Structure 1
Amino acid sequence: MPTPAAKRPDPRLVRVDDSWLTLPNPSGVPVDICAGPDVPIESVAIDELLTVLETADTLRSLARATPGLDTEPRIDRVVCTPDFHKGAGIPIGTVLRTTGALIPQAVGNDINCGMRVEATSVTVDQIRPHLDRLERRLRHLFFEGGRRIGLTARQREGLLREGLPGLLAEGVPAGSTAGSADSGGAWRQVGPDDLTELDGRLHSTGYPVPSAEGFRDWITSGGGTSYDSIIGSVGGGNHFAELQYVSAVHDGAAAYAWGLAPGQVVLMVHSGSLSLGHQANATGRDQAKAAWPRAVPTPRNRILPMLLDEASAPGRQRYLTAFGNAANFALGNRFFLALMLRAGLAEIVGELRSRQVYDAPHNLMWPDSDGTVLHRKGATPAGGAGGAGQRPIDLYGEPVIVPGSMGAPSYLLRGLGNTRALTSACHGAGRSIPRGTAARGGDAELDAFLREFRVVTPLDHRDPAVAARRDIIDAWRRDLKQEAPWAYKEVGPVVDSLRRAEVAEPVVELRPILRLTPRAGT
């Protein structure tokens, strides 16, 4: 049933068919929005997008102030995914292709925020009787100092410069595979599949850059093998680590190729580059300001593009190096978060196997040799089948990970390489109301939700000492409401929009078992 917002679409939008809308705009930029009639679209998100499109005029001003450019800088196209909603300057679910320029704000602070999914050898029936024990163990691992991820300076630098190959170049650290549950921390869960055959199971194993000097303090922190509070952190907002199980198979051949079967426990992680991404984005803003022509006023929307010209190359390279460092860190962070989920499961079932299905980025840019740059903000690649090899990704298309809201089903789909969508899909259901409004949601709805679904936060609300503190519990409940189901669109219509638009086809549906979220209790 369409929501009221879906029945009254924003009058500025023009519906083309059951899958697509367009947004006429004064900047003349082609804008396509993939959303069926039953997917609500916020008017405030349209307002924000129109503000972003003013950057087309900014690029024209920069071109006039920068004679001798080989290519006229411009915004070629914008595509919005079904989870399109208001962000902080750039709407979430925006895919933007430029020529002759890149736009740091079109990716944002959380560089390479993304999803990692793994298929385990565990079944849901094996762990259902032990959820209380599993919850206690996972809370310890994620929020109470149990992660114990020791890294040497060489491993840290290898990760920031090369991604997972740099992190894993020397294999698993000695002493990390035996002893008590905390001996070696998350490293204890590394298996042979994590060290080899990575190609085809990640959108990219890494984003090589020549240096990591901008993060030297983190690299050398502690000296020798050291531990910190950054690596292995879920992050904030709607980031999470979740245990799920395969509840339905929609494409048997692709599911089999990806190692998925009914009842199988699946690990899903949603996290990004944390403080490193903020630092990299600040570098981008600083370099853009330093190169800004005095003759061009600061844009009203505060969005500062960087031209792809020779004069700005040194500053642009400093940003792209920091950008690559942050993107590589995010890959490593999701790797360790998945290892921590494995460690919690191993406490219940003993030895297990877990193999990565895919790691997909959300917030990245893809420069091309033709001078174009594809920016995705809260959108994921959805490339199609047709590679030269026999890998599952070549035969069935790129895995597309679409999580539902907390407590709702998630979906794995296979990308179809739709060029109209700029080979992009949504990275979730998308918010339907702002966090502040959601925090004022009803207590009865929250109580009903908590009776049906297990949420693991840093705060254990079942602890009698905690439950006696009404002020703490009230703050915890307000925080939890911000990510509750009523704050998000229904994932079913969102996935149907991708299917009808021939962007991606569903492969399996995943039902949640429990979710770890730092959103409440921090």
Structure 2
Amino acid sequence: MSNYEVMHNKGQVPVKSWTKGVSFDENARAQVNNMASMPFIHKWIAVMPDVHLGKGATIGSVIPTIGAVIPAAVGVDLGCGMMAAKTTLNASQLPDSLTALRSEIEKKVPHGSSPTMRGMRDKGSWANAPEDVLGAWASLSDGFTKLVEKHPFLKNTNNMKQLGTLGSGNHFIEICIDENNAVWVMLHSGSRGVGNRIGTHFIEQAKKDMERWFINLPDKDLAYIPEGSDKFRDYVEAVAWAQDFAKTNREVMMARTLQAMRDILKVPFEAHVEAVNCHHNYISRENHYGQNVWVTRKGAVSAKKGEMGIIPGSMGAKSFIVRGLGNEESFCSCSHGAGRVMSRAEAKRRVSMDEHLLATAGVECRKDEDVIDETPAAYKPIEKVMSAQSDLVEIVHTLKQVLCVKG
């Protein structure tokens, strides 16, 4: 018996949704149906259990295409994803209070953002990039120079100054404990300002082309770039670089977080990366059902057979290290997290400070009004999300955070 439900409207490809037992609201359904009406979708669209309304394309969707890609479906946080490392530390080796450790991580990894006046630095970027950041940028520098030659506007983006920085919103760094009391570091971030600028530019370009070619779309954010055009090649090249930036960004932050732990804990330990470069906003060239296709995962993770992945819950819930089951009907994909059930504004309106404090009890984290939009109640219950995709991944480790740094 299949674990998914099928929607199939006339004139559209089917939609297979792994949403049994979790919410799939009408606005998100309408958005998925708009995508399903596009003429270049291969076979069907797969919807993950963390599905919720996005811009143009639904977050928690897998969109296989032939002959075109939709830049807004990939989004603007290009290469956003997860990284996790298991350490040789045991929970008993952590101090009773983790306040000093959180403070040290926050010192070593710029986070958040602040409005910038001329000549003032955004607190979420480097004033002077340290040596390790400069070293990491060296692997990205040539590719960036080539991009700037084609797209001069990228020169003045926050590129190197934001390498090794967290950002804001749902990005985080966490210290977690697994089912065997092993200590893990897990973090979530993407390609920062430079990726945002790349994504925004190509979304705007695609929209202009639709107007120029008199192409009517069910949603203007579904504007696409046809394969074979110079613009398509430029887009794929720019996204590939942004995905490399995102991967490197996570690696730098992981190294800095582990150093903060060594500085504060004064205990020798090793760390082994269990799941790295686990993008969840990206495009990938893959073969499915006998054809080479572009797979856009917007808030979804690759879950090929045996492939390791990370599915985080909210800042007060469990997270999971998983192994892919290679389910071809989902185009070998799984959810990227729990998925929102409240918008940021709604969460701030509906959730009280007392409720937030109760939901994050036992976690060393920010407990102020500005973080209520990320409160656990704003997300679907992660256990139900995992149950809905039991045919997509198997759980290898269950993590519970004890420290969370938010932007």
Residue of structure 1 equivalent to 2:120: none
Residue of structure 1 equivalent to 2:27: 44
1:347 aligns with 2:270: no
- The whole-number CA distance in structure 2 between the counterparts of 1:26 and 1:435 is 35
Which has the larger strand fraction? 2
Distance 1:287 1:438, change over 3 A: closer
Q: TM-score if structure 1 supplies the norm length? A: 0.68
Q: Give 5+ residue unaligned stretches, structure 2.
A: 112-122
Contact 1:269–1:338 (CA under 8 A) maintained in structure 2? yes
Residue of structure 2 equivalent to 1:364: 282
The 5 Å alignment of 1:236-251 reads 236-247=168-179
The letter for the 2-side match of 1:513 is V
2:62 pairs, out of 79, 90, 95, with: 95
1:29 pairs, out of 13, 32, 40, with: 13
The 5 Å alignment of 1:242-321 reads 242-247=174-179, 262-289=180-207, 291-292=209-210, 294-302=212-220, 303-309=222-228, 312=229, 314-321=230-237
Q: Give 5+ residue unaligned stretches, structure 1.
A: 1-16, 60-72, 163-208, 248-261, 385-396, 462-475
Q: Offset of 1:400 from its aligned partner?
A: 2.1
- The whole-number CA distance in structure 2 between the counterparts of 1:372 and 1:228 is 33
The 5 Å alignment of 1:164-179 reads none
Q: Offset of 1:160 from its aligned partner?
A: 5.5
The 5 Å alignment of 1:437-516 reads 437-440=346-349, 441-456=351-366, 476-477=368-369, 479-499=370-390, 502-516=391-405
Larger Rg: 1
Contact 1:95–1:377 (CA under 8 A) maintained in structure 2? yes
The 5 Å alignment of 1:59-458 reads 59=39, 73-143=40-110, 149-150=130-131, 156=137, 158-159=139-140, 211-213=146-148, 229-247=161-179, 262-289=180-207, 291-292=209-210, 294-302=212-220, 303-309=222-228, 312=229, 314-350=230-266, 351-359=268-276, 360-368=278-286, 370-384=291-305, 397-440=306-349, 441-456=351-366
Contact 2:324–2:394 (CA under 8 A) maintained in structure 1? yes
Count of equivalent residues = 385
Distance 1:347 1:152, change over 3 A: closer
- The whole-number CA distance in structure 1 between the counterparts of 2:22 and 2:174 is 25
- The whole-number CA distance in structure 1 between the counterparts of 2:352 and 2:263 is 37
Distance 1:339 1:295, change over 3 A: closer
- The whole-number CA distance in structure 2 between the counterparts of 1:296 and 1:367 is 29
The letter for the 2-side match of 1:30 is P
Q: Percent identity?
A: 26
**RMSD of equivalent CA atoms:** 2.8
Distance 1:229 1:50, change over 3 A: same
Query: What whole-Å deviation, never above 9, does each CA across 1:307-355 have from its counterpart, x for those lacking one?
Result: 123xx2x222222221112111101110011112102210123333112
Residue of structure 2 equivalent to 1:53: 36
- The whole-number CA distance in structure 1 between the counterparts of 2:133 and 2:250 is 18
- The whole-number CA distance in structure 1 between the counterparts of 2:247 and 2:239 is 13
Distance 1:119 1:86, change over 3 A: same
Q: Offset of 1:448 from its aligned partner?
A: 2.0
Aligned-partner SS, 1:156: helix
The letter for the 2-side match of 1:110 is D
Contact 1:113–1:362 (CA under 8 A) maintained in structure 2? yes
Q: Offset of 1:378 from its aligned partner?
A: 0.2
Aligned-partner SS, 2:168: coil
Q: TM-score if structure 2 supplies the norm length? A: 0.86
The 5 Å alignment of 1:4-15 reads none
